[in-house]
Structure 1
């Protein structure tokens, strides 16, 4: 595994971490604020890794966003000149925010409707925990990335503080228990229903995939942590509790 220092490592400061973590309180009440911040950070992160890899910025690069959701990322990637293509299996999710979805493709991350070697960058943010076979999705992301391209998979770790999404922190007592408790308290099912649209994906699962994929894994790190805390990924058990979001960066 290549662990050369990247431009993004210098961006991963405590100030950035506090800003991103503070935005989580707006996820349900003001999603534009929350997802807007995540989109800007995602574009910067991909831009740094792509510049490290190719010596070029995102201007003109084709970015495939697996599970692009309701369109908050489109404007940010357009701003940096990328050709942005979101893939989303659920049309209601794609149009949930009432934003334009030009160029969006309806399809499953586990069977991406693209040819081999189709895109410069394949990216997925906080989606792997919502599909039943996230590592099939990761394999698909590698498949559609061109040789010399970049694949970045970022997902929420189940035993981390955000693993249960809106049902947390009760997910520590079991996903089904947390879902039932949410229904009793709120009178409706959670948006992220355990066993249907939310699954228990561990940090160890991502590390295992990284060790077996034919892609060249460049780095693995906790997305919302400053650089000086990235060592947490290397410690079993602790990483499951404290690495709230794991990022795997690979090239092909």
Structure 2
């Protein structure tokens, strides 16, 4: 008896309505993370299926956290492996997901070519050497496999995360102000767990990498008609909000 085939996962159409829903969801990231990350996980799966059929793939989620993305990727048919460096983050929803790996994104504890797809959502700005992490993601992807990396731009409106928009006056100032106003330090502390990562740096890395073939680069949350802003220096750093790079390992 053959196992029933999984239904096709609908792709995420980059419409204006989708963008509005995602931007609204960001307003409840801190107060209702289940809602925010649930919406983002479903949308992320839809975006990836524009490039690859996830059914039967071995997928690594770098910075997978407490498991918000796990069910969405498994529902799409992927064999899902989450990795995070913070056991506290991994336990945020209870026991860590089965198969969870604790390790550094800048030194992934896997052999070359271990996965068909490597994915990372909003993690790159939280590591001190983001392009080492990007290189590591490419390394553990099999030749021909897909690599997708997104991150929040420092000069965008959400660049300081919960300290925004005061990060425009400097990351350290924004952190001090947050602690003064709220009585405790921010979760994302500039220079420790939050760093300045730009669209320009990501595009330079993608074009210079010998192992990564860039397929697409665009503002992750924007409608398709606004994707052109990624091509405009300076403007893209403020307007793009979040960038998604998609490519294949050569």
Instruction: Report the TM range for the smaller structure's normalisation.
Output: over 0.9
Deviation at 1:148, TM superposition (A): 1.0
Q: Secondary structure at the match of 1:251?
A: strand
Counterpart in the other structure of 2:158: 162
Q: How many residues align?
A: 239
1:1-252 alignment, distance < 5 Å: 11-50=13-52, 57-98=53-94, 100-214=96-210, 215-252=212-249
Contact 1:65 1:87 (8 Å CA) reproduced: yes
d(CA) in 2 for partners of 1:90, 1:209:
26
Deviation at 1:97, TM superposition (A): 2.2
Q: Secondary structure at the match of 1:190?
A: coil
Instruction: Determine which structure has the larger helix proportion and give its number.
Output: 1
d(CA) in 1 for partners of 2:116, 2:179:
42
d(CA) in 2 for partners of 1:216, 1:235:
21
| TM-score, normalising length: structure 1 | 0.93
Q: Secondary structure at the match of 1:48?
A: coil
Deviation at 1:210, TM superposition (A): 1.1
Q: Could you report, residue by residue, the CA deviation over 1:10-32 in whole angstroms, capped at 9, with x for unpaired residues?
A: 81111111111110111011100
d(CA) in 2 for partners of 1:136, 1:112:
10
Contact 2:90 2:96 (8 Å CA) reproduced: no
Deviation at 1:99, TM superposition (A): 5.5
Q: Secondary structure at the match of 2:194?
A: coil
Give unmatched runs, 5+ long, in structure 2: 1-9
d(CA) in 1 for partners of 2:238, 2:165:
12
Deviation at 1:100, TM superposition (A): 4.5
Deviation at 1:158, TM superposition (A): 0.2
Contact 1:71 1:99 (8 Å CA) reproduced: no
d(CA) in 2 for partners of 1:65, 1:156:
17
Deviation at 1:172, TM superposition (A): 0.4
Deviation at 1:231, TM superposition (A): 0.6
Q: Could you report, residue by residue, the CA deviation over 1:127-174 in whole angstroms, capped at 9, with x for unpaired residues?
A: 000000000000000000001100000000000011000000000000
Contact 1:232 1:239 (8 Å CA) reproduced: yes
Q: Let me know the Cα RMSD of the aligned residues.
A: 1.2
| TM-score, normalising length: structure 2 | 0.93
Deviation at 1:47, TM superposition (A): 1.6
